[in-house]
Amino acid sequence: MMKQRTIATPIKTVGIGLHSGRKVTLSIKPAPVNSGILFVRVDTPEQSVVPATALAVCDTRLASVIQKDGVRISTVEHLLSACAGLGLDNLLIELDGEEVPIMDGSAASFLFLMESAGIAEQDAARQFLVIKKPIEVREGDKLARLEPFFGYKLDFTIDFKHPAVDKTGQRFVVDFAEHAYRSEIGRARTFGFAHEVEALREMGLARGGSLDNAIVLDEHRILNNEELRYEDEFVRHKILDAIGDLYLVGHPIVGSYVAEKSGHALNNALLRKLLDDPSSYEISSFPENKAPAAYSKESQPLFF
């Protein structure tokens, strides 16, 4: 059977919260089988534990925020995306603040840290969430959908009226039976528009945002000196976000995700609708030789 995975040794890093601008210490530690991914606020008297689950999401306006008993963990999507990309099921993630550090605005730093810690297989079967029938949510001209598919594929379309985005492409499809997360998705940075950043700062947000951790655009061009890491980095980052948001379902997904102009709110609404309908999915384990190619070591996989 395909086995659950955690990291082999603890790791620690320090970064800045995108919205708070505060220094945050992040520690990632191995966790026992069937733990799932657990965030711990070590700066609270109770050392509060917040499970990374779809039903724990409490705010999706600027990032995916989870909470339990009033204790919040903000901006979890990039770190969870890296966890999905490395096939990690069980982790203890400690923070001494509310916000996961933004690092370089992508998942690359988290990938490097957790790969450096080593990946350890555990003595328990990995459990997959297999999509059994289509589930869709819409909001105006936005949509997000999960469909049956024996693998893991994401098809994302954005619609930003900006010359730099138009030039680079507004749609990307990635099938992880054929492409690796690390090379195709993991380095794509978050992005924003200069006028929006100014408005957020007036509201006391985006205090940690800079050209070092985001692609910033004015009305006509990209302001960063660094070139894009991918020709279509904007839409690839939306896929990176979606992978992190979808990992809040608590299992790797066997299915296809299709989105048009989706974001954190619609992704969470999609998972809630899925979980509300037990006939739309099943939880399954796979022998190594019968696993979907996206998750198998025998092909060009998602995780390795």
End-to-end CA, the chain: 17
* Beta carbons of 99 and 18 less than 8 angstroms apart: yes
Q: Is 241 annotated as a binding residue?
A: yes
Active centre residues (catalytic)? 264
> Is 104:258 a contact under the CB 8 Å cutoff?
no
SS3 57: strand
**276 annotated binding-site participant:** no
DSSP state of 169: -
d(Cα 157, Cα 169) in Å, to the nearest integer?
A: 9
- Backbone φ, ψ for residue 99 (5° rounding): -115, 135
In sequence order, the 6+-apart residues with CB closer than 8 A to the CB of 278 are: none
d(CA 79, CA 282): 26
179 is an annotated ligand-binding site residue: no
Residue 108 and residue 15 in contact, taking contact as beta carbons nearer than 8 Å: no
Whole-angstrom CA distances from 175 to 145, 152, 194, 255, 301 are 16, 6, 33, 10, 10
Tell me the three state secondary structure of residue 97: coil
Q: What's the CA gap between 1 and 48, in Å, rounded?
A: 34
State both tokens at 60: 């999706």
Instruction: For CA atoms 97, 102, 103, 108, give the dihedral sign.
Output: positive
Q: Which residues are annotated as a binding site?
A: 78, 237, 241
Q: Which residues are annotated as a binding site for Zn(2+)?
A: 78, 237, 241
